[in-house]
Amino acid sequence: MSEFQLIGLVGRHADVRVAPTLLALCDIVHHLGCRVAIEPDACGLEQVPQTVHRLTRVQMAALCQLVIVVGGDGTLLSVARDVTPGAIPILGINQGRLGFMVDVLPQEMAQVLTAVLAGDYVREDRLLLEARVHRGGHSTPTALAINDVVVRNQAAIRMLEFETWLGDEFISHHRADGFIVASPTGSTAYALSGGGPVVHPALEAMTLVPICPHTLSDRPIVVGAQQTVRIVLRGPSDTLATCTCDGQNSQNLNSGEVLEVRRSDYRLQLIHPNNYSYFSILRDKLHWGSGPVKLL
């Protein structure tokens, strides 16, 4: 008997490419002897069997043993924030544009699922970030980030001025368009475009990346995730920045307020096929050079 008895299926079901894949997954999972759950508002899936459960993402986090996400990395990021508190592993079916985390192709999903439900898979555990803003003696609710926490100026024509701290140690004063605190998973996202390094997802680290800094020597640095990163917004009293988690969850940051980013107690759990290779993903998605040359 598989350890995954109830499997949640999530995707942008209004997408004409995604709905057929979700329907096919329903059949595959049923054929393999497991129960299936989809979201209550899943349109285009009216023809699924009555035996399919209708669960919200929060309910899936409480009741399912596995969630399968159909789409791109953005869809997985959205789903992960809802199900990660339940320590539910996620398997990604790639129907997006890039797909660093959704690494199973639709034409492979029947074969991969057969292996996964038989216990033949790789489980990966990744660091997550959490952010909150301290203002007026109070703190905002903690927001979870899988990729990154980004501070950007709401006034596009003006630079931000801010200080960065690691624990109680002052790092620097910055003038830049913004600042990125990235997890290892997020090192191949916005932080990479900002000149940051690729950080292996097994590392417990955060990457700090100034966005278009005024001082050219203000470079990205990688720090251990054991301490808290603090960003103190400076400048005129009317300075207003936006703090965004994974580009999907935003709150304001005013002059004098402090953004605190730390390693979350939650972890992202991903399920991969047994032949999964992180470096193979990098070679494919970043168009690195060819494979190793065979020696004579």
Catalytic residues: 73
Alpha-carbon span 67 to 124, nearest angstrom: 14
DSSP state for residue 188 in the 8-state scheme: G
- Let me know how long the chain is: 296
Q: Which residues pair with 125 in a beta bridge?
A: 269
Question: Which tokens hold the place of 48?
Answer: 């699924």
Rounded to an integer, what distance in angstroms lies between the CA atom of residue 76 and that of residue 221?
27
Q: How far is the CA of 27 from the CAs of 16, 103, 211, 232, 272, in angstroms?
A: 18, 21, 46, 52, 21
Pairing of strands 122-135, 143-145: antiparallel
Give phi and psi for 258, each to the nearest 5: -120, 125
Return the beta strands (E) in the chain as ranges. Answer: 6-11, 35-38, 53-54, 66-71, 90-94, 122-135, 138-139, 143-145, 148-153, 160-166, 169-176, 178-182, 205-211, 221-224, 229-234, 240-245, 249-254, 258-272
Cβ-contact 72, 102 below 8 angstroms: yes
Ordered DSSP codes for 77-125: HHHHHHHGGGT--EEEEE-SSS-SS--B-GGGHHHHHHHHHTT--EEEE
Rounded distance between C-alpha atoms, residue 133 and residue 154, angstroms: 16
What are all long-range contacts of 235-238, with beta carbons under 8 Å and residues at least 24 apart? 235/160, 235/161, 235/162
